[in-house]
Structure 1
Amino acid sequence: MPTRDLERWMWAEACSLLDQAERLQRQFFDPPGRGGPARAWQPPVDIYSHGNELVITAALPGVTSERLEVGIDGAMLVIAGERRLPQALRDHRVERLEIPRGRFERRLRLPPGVYHIDRLELAHGCLTLALHRVDSLTGEHP
């Protein structure tokens, strides 16, 4: 590859990475209250499937069950809530803030079918959900 083409490629890659970093920064740290609705960050998730079961794990460090909402809205699983700064740290000065806090919401499109939540567990900073697909006519597992 000629040197000039390599320089263009490297520059384009660097600009692309900077754009991606800026989008992530806005997604996680854009403060609410600038004339529009409060922005929400989106927790990362892992999704596993086996037969009629879906297991979903969402990273929610420091989120308490009192600040968590989970539900199924049509074909969407909705995980929402708020991560607050712990009371014990409220008088501390922030030196670095990388874990997002404030309102969060994650909407996940479910595979075709009707689902219900069999298990919900919030432990060790993770929410784990087990969903089962049910027969829409009888309400029983296929």
Structure 2
Amino acid sequence: MEDQFPRQWMWSEAFAMLDRAERMHRQFVRPAGARPVGWEPPVDVLETERMTLVLVALPGVDPSEVLARIEGDELVVSGSRAYPPEMRTAVIHRLELPQGRFERRVRLPPGRYAAIERSSAHGCLMIALTKEA
């Protein structure tokens, strides 16, 4: 069992490095004419036989104000998080939630998708992509 720990740690570190490299690449390589992006929400991508489910962490963002579209082999999720009106008169002790325009491009598993369904739960936007038969 002790042999497993270093191997798991190495895989964990490798995935973290790949994630950082991908984020840096997205930050510096933007399509021509793309609007500036302030932050990228974290996502989970799950696949079943009939659909791909993308969970986007967007606490405090109205799901009806979020755009979701497929561009080539990517799902593009974009929108904006605004400061609450109370911010104008509040004493700020800590600000950790990102504000402003966000966009996240997620490479989708191979296949064709027939429909995009959106819902929300527990601060996440859930995007269900039904696979074409």
Which category describes the TM-score, using the shorter chain as reference length?
A: 0.5 to 0.7
Q: Which residue of 1 aligns with 2:76?
A: 78
Cα pair 1:43 1:106 within 8 Å, conserved? yes
Equivalent position to 1:95, from 93, 96, 103? 93
Deviations 1:50-80 (A, max 9, x none): 1131111110011013531111112110110
CA distance in structure 2 between the partners assigned to 1:38 and 1:90 by the alignment: 25
1:14 paired residue number: none
Describe how 1:5-44 pairs up with structure 2 within 5 A. 38-44=36-42
Which amino acid counterpart does residue 69 of structure 1 have in structure 2?
L
Q: Which runs of 5+ in 1 are unaligned?
A: 1-19, 28-36, 135-141
Identity, % of aligned pairs?
42
Q: Distance in 2 between matches of 1:116 and 1:96?
A: 43
Give TM-score scaled by structure 2 length: 0.67
TM-score norm. by structure 1 comes to: 0.63
Distance 1:97 1:40 in 2: 15
Larger Rg: 1
Structure number with higher relative contact order (C-alpha < 8 Å, ≥ 6 residues apart): 2
Q: Distance in 2 between matches of 1:123 and 1:60?
A: 10
* SS state at 2:59 partner: coil
1:31-52 alpha-carbon deviations (Å, 9 max, x no partner): xxxxxx6332111111111113
- Mind listing any 5+ residue stretches in structure 2 that lack a counterpart? 1-19, 28-34
Runs of 4+ off more than 4 Å: none
**Alignment root-mean-square deviation, CA:** 2.3
